[in-house]
């Protein structure tokens, strides 16, 4: 069983992106800026996906699917809110964070707006989002599907994939190749540490790259 808490301390988004690149998976990381609004700069877990849409009428069943998604989170899940970058409302806040954490969710990634930031910060609940907005989502945005593959910035997030977020961005590791990617990333981190020490001790960068093969 992969221990994601240990990997959180050892890995980072850029090294996973590099390894995926080398394996031919060249579009696994987002390029748009996400902000860690609650001050927690790193998050790793498995994707629990929700697909959102804007709406302009009265919702006959407000919050229905988003509550179902939150309540069905499993320990270690990261809830993905694919809302197309909409800033029509703040679709995630304190109450959803509380309910998600109770289900074992370890954080949320929102391609859209969030609110109750001070309260979520006090909870120490990791929240990465593209905007903030005080408006409630009712009759403005809603979940239209869950546990399906979604896209953010052209990157596909599928249920159960490993997702990592830090200050560089967000990267997704497809479940089918996760063992190979994680092992290669750990090897690369080890090689980078050796290279860094050599450069600190006076070795020229060109010589270090030729010798160790990492940059």
d(CA 174, CA 136): 33
Q: Quick one: how far is CA 102 from the chain centroid?
A: 19
DSSP 135: S
Binding-site residues sit at 93-96, 115-116
DSSP 66: H
pLDDT bracket for residue 5 (50, 70, 90) = confident
194-203 tens-digit pLDDT: 666 667 777 6
Q: What is the dihedral of CA 127, 130, 135, 139, to 10 degrees?
A: -100
- H-helix or E-strand spanning residue 114: strand 107-114
**So what's the pLDDT on residue 110?**
98
51-88 tens-digit pLDDT: 999 999 999 999 999 999 999 999 999 999 999 999 99
d(CA 178, CA 44): 13
CATH architecture of residue range(s) 4-175: 3-Layer(bba) Sandwich (3.50)
145-158 tens-digit pLDDT: 999 999 999 999 99
- pLDDT mean over 167-176: 97
Count of alpha carbons within 13 angstroms of residue 51, beta-carbon side = 12
**So what's the pLDDT on residue 190?**
81
Which three-class secondary structure state does DSSP give residue 75? coil
**So what's the pLDDT on residue 200?**
75
**What distances in angstroms separate CA 26 from CA 20, 66, 84, 166, one per listed residue?**
7, 31, 21, 19
Given a contact cutoff of 8 angstroms between Cβ atoms, the answer to whether 144 and 52 are in contact is yes
**So what's the pLDDT on residue 130?**
98
Task: Render 1-50 in DSSP notation, one character per residue.
Answer: ---HHHHHHH--HHHHHHHHHHTT----B--S--EETTS---EEEEEEEE
More confident residue, 48 or 187: 48
76-134 tens-digit pLDDT: 999 999 999 999 999 999 999 999 999 999 999 999 999 999 999 999 999 999 999 99
Task: Render 148-203 in DSSP notation, one character per residue.
Answer: S-EEETTEEE-TT-EEEEETTEEEEE-GGGHHHHHHHHHHHHHHHHHHHHHHHTT-
The structure's pTM equals 0.91
**So what's the pLDDT on residue 205?**
67
- pLDDT mean over 24-49: 98
Binding-site residues for substrate sit at 93-96, 115
Binding-site residues for Mg(2+) sit at 116
**So what's the pLDDT on residue 175?**
96
Name which of 50, 193, 210, 60 is nearest 139 in CA terms.
60
Residue 192 has pLDDT above 70, yes or no: no
pLDDT bracket for residue 206 (50, 70, 90) = confident
């Amino acid at each position: 069983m992969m221990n994601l808490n240990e990997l959180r301390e050892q890995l980072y988004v850029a090294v996973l992106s590099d390894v995926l690149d080398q394996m031919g998976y060249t579009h696994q990381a987002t390029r748009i800026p996400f902000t860690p609004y609650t001050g927690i700069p790193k998050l790793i877990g498995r994707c629990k996906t929700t697909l959102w849409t804007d709406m302009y009428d009265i919702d006959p069943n407000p919050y229905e699917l988003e509550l179902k998604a939150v309540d069905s989170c499993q320990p270690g899940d990261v809830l993905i809110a694919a809302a197309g970058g909409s800033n029509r409302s703040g679709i995630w806040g304190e109450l959803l964070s509380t309910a998600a954490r109770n289900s074992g969710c370890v954080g949320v990634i929102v391609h859209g707006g969030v609110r109750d930031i001070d309260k979520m910060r006090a909870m120490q609940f990791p929240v990465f989002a593209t905007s903030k907005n005080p408006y409630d989502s009712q009759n403005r945005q809603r979940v239209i599907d869950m546990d399906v593959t979604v896209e953010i910035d052209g990157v596909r997030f599928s249920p159960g994939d490993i997702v990592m977020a830090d200050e560089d961005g967000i990267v997704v590791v497809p479940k089918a190749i996760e063992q190979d990617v994680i092992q290669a990333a750990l090897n690369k981190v080890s090689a980078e540490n050796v290279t860094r020490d050599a450069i600190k001790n006076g070795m020229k960068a060109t010589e270090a790259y030729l010798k160790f093969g990492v940059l």
